[in-house]
A and B are shown apart, each in its own frame.
Chain A
Amino acid sequence: MTRKRVVLVDDHDLVRSGVRSEIGHAVDIVGEAATVDEAIAVINQSEPDVVLLDVHLPGGNGPAVIAGLPKTSARFLALSVSDSADDVIEVIRAGARGYVTKNISGEDLVAAIERVGDGDAVFSPRLAGFVLDAFSIDGPEVADPELDLLTAREQEVLRLLARGYAYKEIARRLTISIKTVESHASAVLRKLQLSNRNELSHWAARRRII
């Protein structure tokens, strides 16, 4: 497998140098940026495979970077310490292919970068939880139309992801191929991006109580 070309976007030098030293042996880091504008310039110039994108940035947030690069072929992986579902869902809706927390191990991060670089989705358990919540599975709102957006199989996959299962383990458990698990995960991301704001605003209202 060819080494992925990666751009790091984070406003903290310490985080960037930490990430660099953890993944530098496995990927090529072709650029770094600390602000939205810098990120857009660097990504335009270096055309990386994957952008590791902090959710919070000066001069706008992660979604602003993605919005500023409508034509890029780079894929975005959100890397954040944020526990705020709003932040995470926003960046995914903007087009990020996955979300991992900053306490992820270097090894797992490299795997996630490669997966995103190959066009697949990366779910941390937390992201899976946020998405399940976003698609409202609680009792009183069963009639909610957005519930129909996720198939039973997709919900099953999401629940296993939330329980901490890797794609490989999910495939074995559901006796389907890893490719199928990946396509379920990608479908969930796509649905999250396509579902309209109204549906998510009701979700956002709910998130505030949690």
Chain B
Amino acid sequence: MVATGSCDDDVVTTSTPSCAFSAGPPGQSEPSGLKTTTWTIPPLDPDNRWFGGVAAALATEVGVSPALVRAGFVAVGLTGWGLLLYPLLWLWLRGCPTPLDYTPTLKGVDTNHARIGVMAIFGGLFVGLSQLPGGPGNLGLAGAGALVMSGMVVLWSDSATDWQLPTELRRFGGGMTLIGAGVTLAVVMLLDGRSIGVAFLAVLVILTFFTAMLGPWLWRAGTELNEERLRRIRADERAAVAAHLHDSVLQTLTLIQRNATDPATTTRLARRQERELREWLYSAGSSSITDEYLRGALAGIASEIEELHGVPIEVVVVGDCRVDDAGEALLKAAREAMANASRHSGADQIDVFAEAANGRLTVFVRDQGKGFDPEVVPDDRRGLADSIHGRLARVDGTAVVTSHLGEGTEVELSTTYVDPVQSSAGAENQ
């Protein structure tokens, strides 16, 4: 990040760590006209400071003499509060880049907010504790609070951004030291001849510290773990895909190369592989692609007939249902119809359309081949009569064969079904 711009209220760009508290979403640039909704903090002025430059900065912003602000700090400090207030303000203002010397220690409004929130909570706790018996203005406790807060800020700063281990260790060490010193001081002060209740409170405060302190670390560790797990899942998935492609596609390609001079075999191999790959690609994770259901069963039959006769069969299915006895009879008839079309029609493709809707299962097998006159089918061709009409008649279904010489044939098979595949996501469990 480049240190361009400043924390002045006229230019706050996205490339500058924004110290503006604005009504808009964080990170967005604020036009200068929005001064009413934007609270900008002046930079600490290293050239004009006594201690941290907080008073000078505030004075510049408010437009009064720095001496007046310093006097105010001293006055508040006499009550013990100023000792908390000053480092608090300093830590906050430190996030703002100065025009001269800017190090991007704290990035972004969100980190700022988190930091201030944490400081406010612990500031309040310590101010509260300092009001316990022992009296207001308990400087020891206030000092402990300031130490712990500084440690917290060091630990929390930049925790939302990318991090490197050495920097992080330094930060962790520094923060821990500060917190440890502060907590020790607080415990010593509180346990100095006081009751169990106060000791308990002290323990509570310490536990809270450590939770807050470890929070960002645990969170980050969790995220890393998650990412690692995702990476592993992806790798596993890739391995499974590779294995599948090797067993299927690569094998088939080898076979095709060996049979390059035999177009019929090559076509059949390619077609079978295509079908397999499609099924694998587009029905992954689906349990309804089995012979128990219309879709799976019909696809299986079509593939089998196609392999047997070498005529491509295009299957389109709308809806789905469990194949019961009637459905099975219908599918056997459909199989026969497909085989007939492949053997006799001379068509170069067969269209199969199946629809399961409103309790009715209908399958159309259509070719655009040479057709025939149903009246003159010789008796020794039993296919139509037995395999198709007979099968459907036995399950109260219907079979209609429409054919015209020269225009192809269509077989319409229909029966009822009982058990639909629920047309909702809930059926995924079936």
Contact = CB atoms under 8 A, between A and B. Distances in A.
Contact of A205 (B316, B353, B368, B425): B425
A84 B282 contact: yes
Interface string A83-108: 11000000000000000000100000
6 contacts: A126-B314, A137-B319, A140-B422, A164-B368, A206-B423, A206-B427
A164 B341 CA distance: 14
A165 B402 CA distance: 14
Contacts of B351: 125, 163-164
Contacts of A205: 424-425
B355 interface: yes
A83 B278 contact: yes
Contacts of B353: 125, 129, 159, 162-164
B306 interface: no
A132 interface: yes
A163 B312 CA distance: 15
B424 to A, nearest CB: 6
Interface in A134-182: 136-142, 159, 162-165
A202 B281 CA distance: 22
A162 B319 contact: no
A100 to B, nearest CB: 12
Contact of A138 (B281, B283, B319, B428): B319
Interface in B324-377: 349, 351, 353, 355-359, 364, 366, 368
A68 B424 CA distance: 33
Q: From DSSP, what is the main secondary structure of chain B's interface residues?
A: mixed
A128 interface: yes
Given A138-B423, A159-B353, A202-B424, A208 B316 contact: no
A137 B357 contact: yes
A138 B288 contact: no
Interface residues of A, number: 27
B421 interface: yes
A210 interface: yes
Interface in B280-299: 281-283, 285-286, 288, 295
B182 interface: no
A209 interface: yes
A125, A136, A159, A210 interface centre (most CB from chain B within 10 Å) = A210
Interface in A172-210: 202, 205-206, 208-210
Given A132-B355, A139-B358, A163-B410, A206 B424 contact: yes
Given A83-B278, A129-B316, A209 B364 contact: no
Interface in A13-27: none
A133 interface: yes
Contacts of B317: 129, 210
A163 B420 CA distance: 22
B320 interface: yes
Nearest to A127: B316
Contacts of A83: 278, 281-282
Given A83-B278, A132-B355, A141 B423 contact: yes
Contacts of A138: 319, 356-358, 420, 423
Given A140-B422, A159-B355, A206-B423, A132 B318 contact: yes
A13 B99 CA distance: 56
A210 B358 contact: no
A209 B282 contact: no
B321 to A, nearest CB: 9
A41 B353 CA distance: 40
